[in-house]
Amino acid sequence: MKTRNPSKVHRIAKVLPGSIAEEMGVEPGDSVISVNGKEIADIFDYRYLMQDEYVEIGIMDEKGEEYLLEVEKEENEDFGVEFENALMDEYRSCRNHCIFCFIDQMPPGMRPTLYFKDDDMRLSFLQGNYVTLTNLSDEDIRRICLFHMEPVNISIQTMDPELRVRMLRNRFAGEALSKMKDLKDAGIHMNGQIVLCKGINDGSELVKTLDMAEAYFPELQSISVVPVGLTKYRKDLYPLEPFTKEDAGNVIDLIERYQDTFMERYGQHCVYASDEWYLTAGRVLPPAERYDGYPQLENGVGMLRLLSDEIDETLAGIRNRKVRPHRLLALCGTAAFPYMRRFMERITERFPGVLMDVLAIRNDFFGESITVSGLVTGGDLISQVRSHLAQKPEGSAYEAILIPCEMLRAGETVFLDDVSVRDVEEAFGLPVIAVMPGGASFVNAVLAGAQKDRNVLKNGRGRKRQNYEQTDRSDRGKTERR
């Protein structure tokens, strides 16, 4: 039997129902060892070689027996398997020491995956992660262009090479920007992100960055501007200040001026302010037209506007639906609270028998400056819900607790602090329902209450929380609580 390099043997975790792989008898636990006679280095190799209409796939079963599958399919048709390691290779960790890094602000004693810093361009393609380009070699650029894997999501921060070196604290960070030109010249689509730090890359520096970034349009399709997140665990880290209400207003005004200019030149707004800026400034959210189809939704750009519009659309489409009376408690981060309360009011106005309270969970774990729902911990949730219930008069019992699914680890039922959904349910004797993204899911979850609904995922299998934790690593499932 041939001795194989373990890194080139890719174990299958799941065979999709109705897929080519299922029809050909492939089973979980089998491994892909080659495509068209070539060993597979990573997901890029696999996707590229699997594009043809005829492929020969080398399979090794759990006993080590090898055989060849001859597959005729449509061009780009999926074989139908998911691998234990979705990247099919080791993950590349970050070489930077960014002054704004959120992971550096994590407290000790949390699960190991929360401390892993990835900076892998393959995850940019697979999962939408943002990369700094400092990990990209000339060979990586060649492969991106050859395989035409796009979009590449880039953490720009600034277009000034010297300032970028200081912000990323990597002496190669400035010259790494030249790789954007290589990608543009090859016609590779890109998205950009700017994490804004007060007094460092805002104001005139942001103006310079947006002016210079225009040279990469239209391949650079969108740029999001998000505020740096600051936890209370910043001992011995670079001194950064939070943005004030006035600061946030100034950022919005600057971005909207550029939006107007870019709209005239390119027919789209190109640069977008995340929702946090509008919440901090106390400004009304822009209309949907300002978001050009929401290209940066997963970056928190336009989420509340889209949710608001989808809720209105869903409610308008409901005809003659009978809803039993019930009472719910909906939870969210402090930033979204005013909007969540308005959303609930719209629903209860239409369905008076549905009674709902909205509770904003203050982030004591990371510090009150952290206001997003995705960073709410189970410990904060339990203590503040317990306090809330203690103040409620008798007879106002809830039948369920609703949470947004982004509070939970992707595909699992735990919060950032390893408190589980079951812990919360046992604490209050109430079911916890994690609501999937989207206005229709939200409305249907509220109207269904504790009853099952196909648009609600009980116990939290939801969208990944990619900004805070890398959940698809080669060591996934092997980590223990510290």
| CATH number of the domain enclosing 289 | 3.20.20
Q: Tell whether 134 and 226 lie within a shared domain.
A: yes
Pairwise pLDDT comparison (142 vs 455), residue with the higher score? 142
With bands split at pLDDT 50, 70 and 90, how would you rate the model's confidence at 469? low
Give the model's pLDDT for residue 147: 81
Q: Tell whether 130 and 275 lie within a shared domain.
A: yes
The percent of residues above 70 in pLDDT, for the chain, comes to: 92
Q: Assess if residue 95 is contained within a domain.
A: no
Across the range 157-183, mean pLDDT stands at 96
Q: Tell whether 173 and 292 lie within a shared domain.
A: yes
Q: Tell whether 393 and 316 lie within a shared domain.
A: yes
Whether the Cβ atoms of residue 221 and residue 190 lie closer than 8 Å to each other: yes
Q: Tell whether 313 and 274 lie within a shared domain.
A: no
Across the range 209-224, mean pLDDT stands at 97
Q: Assess if residue 193 is contained within a domain.
A: yes
Q: Assess if residue 173 is contained within a domain.
A: yes
pLDDT at 116 > cutoff 90: no
Across the range 247-273, mean pLDDT stands at 98
Q: Tell whether 132 and 236 lie within a shared domain.
A: yes
Residue 47's domain comprises 6-83
DSSP 228: P
Q: How many domains does the chain have?
A: 3
Q: Tell whether 266 and 164 lie within a shared domain.
A: yes
Q: Assess if residue 480 is contained within a domain.
A: no
> Which CATH number goes with the domain that contains 320?
3.40.50
Across the range 350-376, mean pLDDT stands at 94
Give the model's pLDDT for residue 135: 86
Peptide bond into 112 cis (omega under 30): no
β-pairing, 190-196 with 152-155?
parallel
Whether the Cβ atoms of residue 328 and residue 398 lie closer than 8 Å to each other: yes
Quote the CA–CA distance of 440 and 442 in Å, as a whole number: 5
Q: Assess if residue 312 is contained within a domain.
A: yes
Q: Tell whether 296 and 315 lie within a shared domain.
A: no
Whether the Cβ atoms of residue 281 and residue 252 lie closer than 8 Å to each other: yes
Q: Tell whether 351 and 271 lie within a shared domain.
A: no
The structure's pTM equals 0.85
pLDDT at 3 > cutoff 90: no
With bands split at pLDDT 50, 70 and 90, how would you rate the model's confidence at 93? confident
Task: Tokens for 359, please give them.
Answer: 């509770």
